[in-house]
């Protein structure tokens, strides 16, 4: 972690910058200099996972930047009287990175999601961002120890590697293999490939603006209700300072 203004929530250091400042002051210069960079976009569920697993916490702590994804993180920062300036959804960050990759003709690798989703993502990217160089792509139903995939990705020499395996697998994959690379921005993007491929609908802007994206997701995917319990536990722990 390289950010002095970070806000510590349950022993995880979150950046406290607007998305634009984060990108222009940190991410884009690193990309331009071929400096390696590992970004975790963390929501309350991820923070709770770091509390429950020391191994996972060590992975998240290896990130150069932990970005506040999820209204719960921003609320928690307010409870702590260290308000975070802005929620930065991982999906939005990914779209901005894709737009920059298109502008600068960077090469991108897409690892994760089901095979047909992964292929659809690449088709969408080719259409929407024609100047991006597709270094390669692979579905995410793999072992995080699969060396042949790692070798393939390393030899494709990508500037950006989007890893959509869900948490904790995506952070596990990145921390296991990042040392094999000489450059690259590595980011776990959770279910973003499903959204880009049109398999899952993102909440309409009105819901997002009302900070109700989580409720929209819950209504569309009710099997995720257990995840909400974790968010409630997270909020209670921060509020009552029982970390």
Which C-beta is closer to ligand UDP: that of 68 or that of 190? 190
Binding residues for ligand UDP, how many (CB under 6 A)? 14
Write the binding mask 150 to 179 for ligand UDP: x where contact by CB under 6 A, - elsewhere: --------------xxxx-x----------
Asked whether 186 and 163 are in contact (CB, 8 A), the reply is: yes
Compute the distance between CA of residue 211 and CA of residue 73 in angstroms, rounded to an integer.
12
Please name the helix (run of DSSP H) or strand (run of DSSP E) that holds residue 162, with its range, or none. Answer: strand 160-164
Binding ligand UDP by CB under 6 A: which of 190, 202, 230, 238? 190
Is residue 231 helix, strand or coil?
Answer: helix
We find the least distance from the C-beta atom of residue 147 to ligand UDP, in angstroms, to be 17
Which residues inside 117-156 make contact with ligand UDP, applying CB under 6 A? 140-141
Compute the distance between CA of residue 187 and CA of residue 169 in angstroms, rounded to an integer.
12
Which C-beta is closer to ligand UDP: that of 40 or that of 75? 40
Report whether the peptide linkage leading into residue 168 is cis, meaning its omega lies within 30 degrees of zero. Answer: yes
Query: Does residue 114 belong to the site contacting ligand UDP (CB under 6 A)?
Result: yes
178 to 38, 51, 147, 153, 172: CA distances (angstroms) = 8, 24, 12, 11, 10
Which residues inside 192-211 make contact with ligand UDP, applying CB under 6 A? 193-194
Query: Does residue 60 belong to the site contacting ligand UDP (CB under 6 A)?
Result: no
Which residues contact ligand UDP (rule: CB under 6 A)?
112-114, 140-141, 164-167, 169, 190-191, 193-194
């Amino acid at each position: 972690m390289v950010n002095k203004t970070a806000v510590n929530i349950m022993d995880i250091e979150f950046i406290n910058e607007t998305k634009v400042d984060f990108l222009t002051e940190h991410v884009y210069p690193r990309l331009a200099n071929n400096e390696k960079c590992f970004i975790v976009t963390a929501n309350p569920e991820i923070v709770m996972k770091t509390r429950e697993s020391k191994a996972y916490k060590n992975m998240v702590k290896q990130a150069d930047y932990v970005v506040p994804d999820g209204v719960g993180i921003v609320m928690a920062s307010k409870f702590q009287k260290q308000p975070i300036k802005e929620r930065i959804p991982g999906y939005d960050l990914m779209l901005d990175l894709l737009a920059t990759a298109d502008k600068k003709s960077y090469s991108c690798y897409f690892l994760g999601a089901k095979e047909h989703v992964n292929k659809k993502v690449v088709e969408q990217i080719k259409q929407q961002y024609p100047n991006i160089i597709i270094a390669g792509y692979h579905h995410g139903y793999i072992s995080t120890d699969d060396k042949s995939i790692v070798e393939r990705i390393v030899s494709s020499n990508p500037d950006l590697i989007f890893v959509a395996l869900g948490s904790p697998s995506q952070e596990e994959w990145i921390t296991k293999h990042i040392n094999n690379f000489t450059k690259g921005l590595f980011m776990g993007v959770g279910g973003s490939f499903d959204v880009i491929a049109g398999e899952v609908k993102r909440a309409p802007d009105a819901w997002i603006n009302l900070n109700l994206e989580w409720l929209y997701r819950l209504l569309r995917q009710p099997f995720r209700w257990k995840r909400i319990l974790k968010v409630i536990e997270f909020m209670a722990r921060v509020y009552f300072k029982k970390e």
